[in-house]
Amino acid sequence: MIKANDPNRRSWINVESGSDFPIQNIPFGVFIPEDDIITIGTRIGDTAVDLSAMQQLGYFDEINLDEDVFLQDTLNDFIALGREINRDVRDRIAEVFDADNAELRDNDEHKAKILFPVNEVQMLMPVFCQDYTDFYSSREHATNVGTMFRDPNNALLPNWLHLPVGYHGRSSTIVISGEPVHRPKGQRMPPNADKPVFGPSVRVDFELEMAFITGEGKPMGQSISTAEAEEYIFGMVLFNDWSARDLQKWEYVPLGPFLAKNFGSSISPWVVTMDALEPYRVAGPVQEPEVLDYLKFEGDKNYDINLEVGIAPEGSTETTVCKSNFKHMYWNMVQQLTHHTVNGCKVNAGDMMASGTISGPTPDSYGSMLELSWNATKSMKMADGSERTFIEDNDTVIMRGYCDNGKVRIGFGEVSSKLLPAID
Amino acid sequence: MIKANDPNRRSWINVESGSDFPIQNIPFGVFIPEDDIITIGTRIGDTAVDLSAMQQLGYFDEINLDEDVFLQDTLNDFIALGREINRDVRDRIAEVFDADNAELRDNDEHKAKILFPVNEVQMLMPVFCQDYTDFYSSREHATNVGTMFRDPNNALLPNWLHLPVGYHGRSSTIVISGEPVHRPKGQRMPPNADKPVFGPSVRVDFELEMAFITGEGKPMGQSISTAEAEEYIFGMVLFNDWSARDLQKWEYVPLGPFLAKNFGSSISPWVVTMDALEPYRVAGPVQEPEVLDYLKFEGDKNYDINLEVGIAPEGSTETTVCKSNFKHMYWNMVQQLTHHTVNGCKVNAGDMMASGTISGPTPDSYGSMLELSWNATKSMKMADGSERTFIEDNDTVIMRGYCDNGKVRIGFGEVSSKLLPAID
């Protein structure tokens, strides 16, 4: 067992029951405390932990680290150290915050420099993402979309069961939870029209996704095998891949989604490590037909992560519109990364690879309004009595995710972002 | 007239007749002289000019610049200063190297620190490109592809004449001229097969493209109009968008090209500024049907840039296989950038936006082997007697580009890259 995952460990930092951030989580993020400088940190309960301060005060002396490894404005360099060093750091954090360890617990001077109430720090983008890839790996989602827009009897395209379909997204507009996103303008072709019109999208949607963040890959030209892939995956975040369905429908043939997607994507701020998710491995769906040899793998590569999406209209309470689970994914992250690099494509530390919309088998588990409203043929009722087929201006969309095996709950917190009106 | 563009200026640096780099060009690039440090530089004739050394020696004192503006390993920060400052620097370089200016010409000590034979410096990637977009803006290319793979009578898809179709590429595998690229492995579906096979691509192609490099865009959510777009375009490079046609055909529906493209793209090292290209503006093709208002523009937005592609088999001389011209592009760069940002998409300094394959109207002007060999139904004869339908292992593909209005020739040099065999 990974040392930091010990389910029996308790911390001397208070952790409320049901918290996403017990001592067994120890995610990594980047934050700035009030009147202080940017640092890499972790979170236990509702306490943000300044790892650069910890290092300066000697708490990581037993690990061979550069002295400024945590004094960074992104996790990229830390991630690039590799999973072994990342694990050593996480294990050491678990040790320092163990209820029985007095080193820091009883040092008020140090605690004042290291610990901050999480609501008094500003979370920043955890990584600099040069390249962002979006997969399309939920069979249920691909089947729903194919059924609505093509042919219910041939909903999956011929390649879908043979390879994890994916495409490149735009990294410049990936923002952190809390940052609003503006409704995009663009071209759409109204039904029965003979020419397109221009204006704000009238079908803005969320997509419930998760993204994994890669380590430093092999040199360009080389491939990462399924046996090696886990060494190149650092951790995961919640990912809302904002989408404009009307722009998408008009623009996406033949080269794929473009303006319909690149106006914004929102992520949760704490990167939960693959180490922390280890206890929640599960088998994925059976893959039939059999995949090509390079996509075969051994062991359980899916993860049991409960997911939910809420919509909060302006000035109103939130209504849950979707409950899904990451375990439904047909193609797993190991296969995605292997496929992505089988042609020699270079992967850098901090790159993001998102899952695609995570829809489950039941209508209440569909991960987008497109599916929940079945292409606007039905609406979702909000707590304030209003109805939604797509997202309205000033709605806030909130996604949450957590694992719970009855012993320990490991969560991702949330990604929450408000859709502002289009800018004139 | 932009000061540096004076066609009558001569330099005290020798410039061979027919050079791509007369005193009127003054492109920007990044290089490292032997036993020295990385610097931003320019090129006149066959002489590389170290701009950080020039600045340290006081030659830019009249311009308000940070002292390390040229002591960078990319052009990004310099580009982000904006076109006015970029122009001041280029104008000042023209002045310093003017045949009649003795400041540097007669200072041998300074010259020893500033000037290097271009073949004694190593060129590096000129920018750090976070996001790379590839358009599909040659009507001839889109028509050829549509004719081969879909329907000659409806070769263009319905959206093509209404918007500049584009998609996101991967920036991590954009490399500089001289760097080899490995043949990619991947899945393809052989004709009449019932399942895909895996192995090295058997249809590796070049795509003759040019890319423009953007300045620092507006904040996310805001749009750049056609009237504003030129202020956000720094310059251009030659761009070979390596493509694997067999992988592409199997993977690209519905989300676009992915592994077929992201194994490598090659660029020329010197960024020719839009200022230098000013004398070569021409009108583009008439756009019919009329475009939507946001895509309308005033003035000439195309450029008359002669382009050619050669293939040099291992150990053999080069054979020219294509002569085209950038002026054929249906959608211009101003429209591309405006469309890209109309939804609020953020553009950063150093981003690349490639044109898509630049095919002309005649068969010898097609910008890819796919078109030149008309989907492998005919072959191109090489100087050594061998034939090509696609690119073979160890072939070198060379692209060149230049403008010539009878008074001044401004060129891009070349992008040359060798296709190595797939790595086992």
Stretch 128-157 of chain A: residues touching chain B, C-beta under 8 Å: 130-131, 133, 136, 157
Q: Tell me, what amino acid is at A299?
A: G
The CA distance from B162 to the nearest CA of chain A, in Å, is: 8
All residues of chain B having their beta carbon less than 8 Å from the beta carbon of residue A339 are: 259
Which of A173, A258, A338 should one mutate to test binding to chain B, selecting the residue with the greatest count of B CBs within 10 A? Answer: A258
Tens digit of each residue's pLDDT (9 = 90 or more) over B84-114:
999 999 999 999 999 999 999 999 999 999 9
User: Which of B256, B339, B346 has its CB closest to that of A255?
Assistant: B256
User: Which of B130, B222, B264 has its CB closest to that of A172?
Assistant: B130
Which of A250, A255, A424 should one mutate to test binding to chain B, selecting the residue with the greatest count of B CBs within 10 A? Answer: A255
- Cβ–Cβ gap A342/B259 under 8 Å: yes
Does the annotation place B251 within a ligand binding site?
A: no
pLDDT for A343 equals 98
Name the active-site residue from B110, B141, B328, B340. Answer: B141
Which of B201, B204, B258 should one mutate to test binding to chain A, selecting the residue with the greatest count of A CBs within 10 A? Answer: B258
Does the annotation place B134 within a ligand binding site?
A: yes
The Cα B370–Cα B363 span in angstroms is 12
Q: Tell me, what amino acid is at A282?
A: V
Find out whether A305 and A324 touch, Cβ atoms under 8 Å.
Answer: no
Cα angle A258-A264-A268, degrees, rounded to a multiple of 5: 135
Active site residue B162: no
Domain of A337, CATH number, reads 3.90.850.10
- Cβ–Cβ gap B348/A172 under 8 Å: yes
B248, B239, B264: which is closest to B181 by C-alpha?
B264
pLDDT for B424 equals 85
pLDDT per residue as tens, chain A (424 positions): 999 999 999 999 999 999 999 999 999 999 999 888 999 999 999 999 999 999 999 999 999 999 999 999 999 999 999 999 999 999 999 999 999 999 999 999 999 999 999 999 999 999 999 999 999 999 999 999 999 988 999 999 999 999 999 999 999 999 999 999 999 999 999 999 999 999 999 999 999 999 999 999 999 999 999 999 999 999 999 999 999 999 999 999 999 999 999 999 999 999 999 999 999 999 999 999 999 999 999 999 999 999 999 999 999 999 999 999 999 999 999 999 999 999 999 999 999 999 999 999 999 999 999 999 999 999 999 999 999 999 999 999 999 999 999 999 999 999 999 999 999 8
Which residue on chain A is closest to B263 by alpha carbon? A345
Looking at the structure, do residues A246 and A352 belong to the same domain, yes or no? yes
The CA distance from A101 to the nearest CA of chain B, in Å, is: 44
The H or E element spanning position B320 is strand B319-325
- Cβ–Cβ gap B258/A185 under 8 Å: no
Looking at the structure, do residues B329 and B261 belong to the same domain, yes or no? yes
Domain limit, last residue, from B94, B123, B152: B123
B35 pLDDT tier (thresholds 50, 70, 90): confident
Which residue on chain A is closest to B222 by alpha carbon? A423
pLDDT for B357 equals 98
Which residue on chain A is closest to B244 by alpha carbon? A343
The Cα A11–Cα A96 span in angstroms is 9
- Cβ–Cβ gap B344/A263 under 8 Å: yes
Residues 6+ positions from B17 with CB-CB distance below 8 Å: none
Looking at the structure, do residues A55 and A88 belong to the same domain, yes or no? yes
User: Which of A162, A222, A259 has its CB closest to that of B187?
Assistant: A162
| Beta strands per DSSP E along B106-227 | 115-117, 121-124, 132-135, 166-168, 174-176, 181-182, 185-188, 197-200, 204-205, 208-214
Domain limit, last residue, from B123, B144, B163: B123
3-state secondary structure A349-362: CCCEEECCCCCCCC
Looking at the structure, do residues B103 and B138 belong to the same domain, yes or no? no
Instruction: List, by residue number, the catalytic residues of A.
Output: 141
Tens digit of each residue's pLDDT (9 = 90 or more) over B368-420:
999 999 999 999 999 999 999 999 999 999 999 999 999 999 999 999 999 99
Q: Which residue has the higher pLDDT, B363 or A149?
A: B363
Looking at the structure, do residues A194 and A166 belong to the same domain, yes or no? yes
Which residue on chain B is closest to A162 by alpha carbon? B196
Which residue on chain A is closest to B345 by alpha carbon? A263
The Cα A19–Cα A46 span in angstroms is 8
Looking at the structure, do residues B80 and B153 belong to the same domain, yes or no? no
- Residue whose pair of structure tokens reads 């070049």 in the numeric block: B206
Domain limit, last residue, from B123, B141, B164: B123
Stretch 260-319 of chain B: residues touching chain A, C-beta under 8 Å: 262-264, 289, 292-294
Interface contact A221, partner B, CB < 8 A: yes
Reported ipTM: 0.97
Range B294-300 contact pairs with CB under 8 angstroms and sequence separation of 24 or more: B294/A198, B294/B223, B294/B225, B294/B226, B294/B338, B294/B339, B294/B342, B295/B163, B295/B226, B295/B335, B295/B338, B295/B339, B296/B226, B297/B226, B297/B227, B297/B332, B297/B334, B297/B335, B298/B226, B298/B227
Looking at the structure, do residues B151 and B63 belong to the same domain, yes or no? no
- Cβ–Cβ gap B346/A172 under 8 Å: yes
Looking at the structure, do residues B97 and B138 belong to the same domain, yes or no? no
Looking at the structure, do residues B108 and B146 belong to the same domain, yes or no? no
pLDDT cut 90: percent of chain B above it: 98
pLDDT for B308 equals 98
Looking at the structure, do residues A57 and A160 belong to the same domain, yes or no? no
Which of B151, B255, B292 should one mutate to test binding to chain A, selecting the residue with the greatest count of A CBs within 10 A? Answer: B255
Report the 10 Å Cβ neighbour count for A374: 15
Looking at the structure, do residues A80 and A184 belong to the same domain, yes or no? no
pLDDT for A180 equals 98
Interface contact A12, partner B, CB < 8 A: no
The C-alpha torsion from A71 through A73 and A77 to A80, rounded to 10°, is 130
Tens digit of each residue's pLDDT (9 = 90 or more) over A259-281:
999 999 999 999 999 999 999 99
* Residue B341: DSSP 8-state: H
pLDDT at B121 over 90: yes
Stretch 70-129 of chain A: residues touching chain B, C-beta under 8 Å: none
The CA distance from B279 to the nearest CA of chain A, in Å, is: 33
**Reported pTM:** 0.98
* Mean confidence (pLDDT) of chain B: 97
Extract the tokens encoding B250. 């199997």
Report the 10 Å Cβ neighbour count for B149: 12
pLDDT for A375 equals 96
All residues of chain A having their beta carbon less than 8 Å from the beta carbon of residue B193 are: none
Looking at the structure, do residues A115 and A142 belong to the same domain, yes or no? no
Cα angle A176-B74-A212, degrees, rounded to a multiple of 5: 30
What is the domain range of residue A23?
Answer: 3-123
- Cβ–Cβ gap A220/B173 under 8 Å: yes
Domain of B106, CATH number, reads 2.30.30.230
Query: Total domain count for chain A?
Result: 2
User: Which of A197, A252, A263 has its CB closest to that of B254?
Assistant: A252
Stretch 350-389 of chain B: residues touching chain A, C-beta under 8 Å: 351
The H or E element spanning position B274 is helix B274-277
